[in-house]
């Protein structure tokens, strides 16, 4: 894949992932054009004045709920990275139709526009909360995954391919607990939901580089899952504020004790590689199954979960991951 010839559109381009993806693209891959598609003119202005003013950048105001605007934005586009979403669990629970309009109908609009405009590749971002979801956010992301995978059937005979990347919590991203713990540290007391809680963790840059790698390898229909470490919420709290008192406040509505990235039922059609899993469509005739000989099938009953993960972050590992946020305890926009 020759990145220097690509015209790339990033939905949600002013968000945590979008900004880091664009930064990496500009510094290392030098695409022909990068289109930042988002609905917030203030965030676009802030990106420009903070240094995102390269000649290859275009700022396009629009909402994924508007399919006509997406079609206009995708004119001449080769690759779409779909990162736009409503992702705050409490906000999605309180505003369910808004979450559905953006995360499900918005994803459908991205698919329709990409098919209509002849986009070659579409990579959508998903989350561990889409696996056996217990909240509306996870449910909408599961539906979005299904839409993107199955849309390869609609793309039969065209050049458009759709795939997804699914990973866990991103350190310091919008809504992350890391900036909250850093703020609470000043008062000597950290609020945790349950001492048993575990989560998958990776840095924003790790997530971006994994997405780039999967774009290069995708054929359409895969859900790519990286092998990433787990951490205990109590270890995260100890690494950030070792002297602070921990106050257990109880699991919030729509929250799991542990997260899952590959569940038992989809494991039957999943291939394991050294550093990732590739979830393949179970029975679709259009999927070429080109991954079969590149990895290993998973054993019956396999489950990739944060509590049984063989890879764990030490306290020192956690401190290194949160260090960049020590001087800025605000949530990344």
Confidence at residue 171, expressed as pLDDT on a 0 to 100 scale: 87
Burial of residue 293 (CB within 10 Å: 0-12, 13-18, 19+) is: exposed
The answer to whether the CB of 141 falls within 8 A of the CB of 287 is no
Helix (H) or strand (E) holding 199: strand 198-202
* Mean pLDDT within 302-325: 93
Rounded Cα gap, residues 172 and 33, in angstroms: 28
The answer to whether the CB of 199 falls within 8 A of the CB of 233 is yes
pLDDT per residue over 228-273, tens digit each? 999 999 999 999 999 899 999 998 888 899 999 999 999 999 999 9
Beta bridge partners of 167: 127
Residues ≥6 apart with Cβ < 8 Å to 262 = 131, 225, 270, 277, 279, 298, 302, 303, 304
Rounded Cα gap, residues 204 and 181, in angstroms: 18
- Residue 283 Ramachandran class (φ > 0 left, ψ -120 to 50 alpha, else beta): alpha
Domain boundaries along the sequence of the chain: 3-168+202-227+260-304
Fold of 3-168+202-227+260-304: Rossmann fold (3.40.50)
pLDDT per residue over 171-228, tens digit each? 877 767 888 899 899 899 999 999 999 999 999 999 999 999 999 999 999 999 999 9
Q: Is 129 a catalytic residue?
A: yes
Among 20, 121, 129, 141, which one carries the catalytic annotation?
Answer: 129
Phi, psi of 312 (to 5 degrees): -130, 150
Confidence at residue 157, expressed as pLDDT on a 0 to 100 scale: 62
pLDDT per residue over 32-57, tens digit each? 999 999 999 999 999 999 999 999 99
pTM as predicted: 0.94
């Amino acid at each position: 894949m020759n990145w220097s010839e690509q015209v790339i559109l990033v939905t949600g381009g002013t968000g945590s992932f979008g900004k880091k993806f664009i930064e990496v693209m500009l510094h290392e891959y030098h695409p022909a054009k990068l289109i930042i598609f988002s609905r917030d003119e203030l965030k676009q202005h802030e990106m420009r004045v903070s240094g995102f003013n390269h000649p290859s950048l275009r700022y396009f105001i629009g909402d994924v709920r508007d399919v006509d605007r997406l079609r206009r934005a995708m004119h001449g586009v080769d690759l779409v990275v779909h990162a736009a979403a409503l992702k705050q669990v409490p906000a999605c629970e309180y505003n369910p139709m808004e979450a559905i309009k953006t995360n499900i109908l918005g994803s459908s609009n991205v698919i329709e526009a990409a098919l209509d405009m002849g986009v070659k590749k579409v990579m959508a971002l998903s989350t561990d909360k889409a696996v056996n979801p217990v909240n509306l956010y996870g449910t909408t992301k599961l539906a979005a995954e299904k839409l993107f995978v199955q849309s390869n059937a609609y793309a039969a005979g065209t050049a458009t391919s759709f795939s997804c990347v699914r990973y866990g919590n991103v350190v310091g991203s919008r809504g992350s607990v890391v900036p909250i713990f850093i703020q609470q540290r000043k008062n000597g007391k950290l609020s945790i939901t349950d001492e048993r809680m575990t989560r998958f963790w990776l840095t924003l840059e790790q997530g971006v580089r994994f997405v780039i790698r999967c774009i290069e390898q995708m054929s359409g229909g895969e859900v790519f899952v990286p092998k990433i470490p787990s951490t205990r919420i109590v270890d995260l709290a100890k690494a950030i504020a070792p002297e602070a008192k921990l106050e257990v406040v109880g699991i919030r509505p729509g929250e799991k004790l542990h997260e899952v990235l590959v569940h038992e039922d989809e494991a039957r059609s999943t291939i394991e590689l050294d550093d990732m899993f590739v979830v393949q469509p179970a029975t679709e005739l259009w999927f070429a199954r080109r991954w079969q000989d590149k990895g290993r099938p998973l054993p019956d009953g396999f489950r990739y979960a944060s509590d049984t993960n063989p890879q764990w972050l030490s306290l020192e590992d956690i401190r290194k991951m949160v260090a960049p946020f020590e001087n800025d305890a605000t949530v990344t926009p």
